[in-house]
Amino acid sequence: MKDLLKNKILNRDASIAIIGLGYVGLPLAYEAAKAGFNVIGIDHNEDRLREIHSGNCIIIDAIKEEFKELVKTDRIKATKDYRLLKTADIIIICVPTGLTKNLTPDLVNVEDVTKEIAKNIRVGQLISIESTIYPGTTEEVVLPLLEASGLKVEEDFLLCHSPERIDPGNLNYSTKNISKVIGGIGAASLEVGKIFYSQIINNIVGVSSVKAAELSKVHENTFRAINIALVNELAVLCDKMMINVWEVLEAAFTKPFGIMEFYPGPGVGGHCIPIDPHYLEFKAREYNFMTKFISLAGEVNRKMPEFVREKVLRALNKIGITPTASKVLIIGMAYKKDTGDYRESPAISIAELLLKDGIKLSYYDPYINKIEIGSHSFSSISLNDEAIKAADVVLITTDHSIIDYSWLIKTANLIIDTRNATKGLEDKENKVILL
C-alpha cells in the first residue's frame, strides 16, 4: 500500500481531495494543482463553489489568472459531494475549528468531516489533518472515527497531522514557502506524508509523533498571544501614565538582542491567536496543570475592545458631545491590514460596544463591502471629505495600506489611532489620540 501510494505521488497520478476551501484549503489546492496533481475541493458554501467554478480565487488576488487556468483545465474542481472522496488518494482536512462559549475546543467541523470520510474511505488512502487541534485529537478523536469503518491505520490507510501556517495578506510568505511541520500516526504515515507535501512545499519538518505536530502549532500561537497581551497591558498602563506606548516600544526595540517586536492594538483577531491558546489550556487541565500565562493573556486581550471604547467615550466627553448625539467612523473591519478577513476581528467587538452606547456608527473597509454587527447590517461607505468631516471621531482599527492617512489627519475632526497608522505624519498634535 505504502509503496503504491508513493509511486502515484511521485508520478503525479495521485488525486487530491481538500475539504474546506477557505484561507487554508484554497491556497493549498492551488499549489497542489500547480504541482501537477488533480484536485477536488469540497465545501458546503454554495457561493464559494460558484466563485471557484467561475475561476475566481476569492482568497488571493495575486494568483487569480493562474487559478482561473487551473479551473479551466480541470486541475481544480469544486463540489459539495463527499462521495467523490472515494476517488481520492490523499484527503486533506482544512475546516475551521473554534471555541465554545466556555472557551473549550469546538471540534464539531473536524468530527463531521471525519465521519463523512469514514463513510467513503478505502484501502490505500492518506488522510492529513491541517485544521488546528489540541494535542491528542488525531489519536483520540479522529482515528477512532476512521477505524469505525473497519479499516486499520498503517495497514489499510495512513494518517498524519500537518498544521496549517497560512498568514492571510502576507505577500512574502505563502503556502509554498512556509516550512511545513508534519507528524504521522506511524512510520508509514509520516514517510508518505512527507513525500506528498515535499512535492508542493519547499521545506518539510518531520516530527516524531502527531502529538508533537499538534502541540507545535498551538505553541506558536500561544507564544504570539502572550507577547501581544504583554504589550497590550503596557499600552493600558501607558495610557494611565500619559506616556506614548509606541515611543517606548520603538526605543526598546533598538536593542539588538533579547527582545522581539510585538505591538499593541485594539484586540486580537483571526482564527488563530484568540483561539489556539485555549486548546493548549484545555489539554493541560487533563494533567491537572494550570497554564496561568495563557489564562491571563486571554483575559488581557479580550479586554482591549473595552479599553478602546473607553478612549472613544473620553474623547467625546472632552469635545462636549454625548454618545447618543455622536457619530463615529470606524476605519477597518478586518482583523489585520490588507485583507478582507474579519473572523474574530476586534473591530466588530468595539462596534458592538459603541452601538450599545447609542453612538451612530459607519465604517470604511476597502476589502469588506458589507458586515453584520449584532442585529445591525452595515455597508462600507465611500471614504471622502464629506464622510470624514461628518464624523465626530474617526477610529482607526485596521491600518490598511491603501488609505491616505495624511489626508485623513487633515480632514478629520478627531482621530483615535489604535494601530499607530499615523506614525511619522505631520499635523497630528491635538488631532490624533494614540492607543
Which amino acid would we find at residue 70? L
CB-CB neighbours of 294 under 10 Å: 22
Which amino acid would we find at residue 212? A
Residue 191: closest CA among 145, 137, 126: 126
CA angle 361, 363, 364 (to 5 degrees): 165
User: Cα torsion for 369, 372, 378, 384, to the nearest 10°?
Assistant: -50
State the pairing for strand pair 370-373/376-379: antiparallel
CA distance 221 to 199: 27
Instruction: Judge whether 160 counts as a catalytic residue.
Output: no
Residue 329: closest CA among 372, 390, 276: 390
Beta bridge partners of 393: 328
Q: Do the beta carbons of residue 128 and residue 7 sit within 8 Å?
A: no
Q: Do the beta carbons of residue 429 and residue 414 sit within 8 Å?
A: no
Q: 424: alpha, beta or left, given left = phi > 0 and alpha = psi -120 to 50? A: left
CA angle 425, 426, 427 (to 5 degrees): 130
Q: Do the beta carbons of residue 376 and residue 355 sit within 8 Å?
A: yes
What stretch of H or E contains 101? none
Which residues, at least 6 apart from 5, have a Cβ–Cβ distance to it below 8 Å?
A: 14, 89, 124, 125, 126, 158, 192
Catalytic one among 57, 94, 160, 272?
272
Which residues, at least 6 apart from 105, have a Cβ–Cβ distance to it below 8 Å?
A: 97, 99, 133, 134, 137, 278, 279, 282
Q: Do the beta carbons of residue 315 and residue 239 sit within 8 Å?
A: no
CA distance 245 to 224: 19
Q: Do the beta carbons of residue 52 and residue 126 sit within 8 Å?
A: no
For the record, the C-alpha cell of 164 comes out as 496549517
Q: Do the beta carbons of residue 408 and residue 415 sit within 8 Å?
A: yes
Catalytic residues, by residue number, are 272
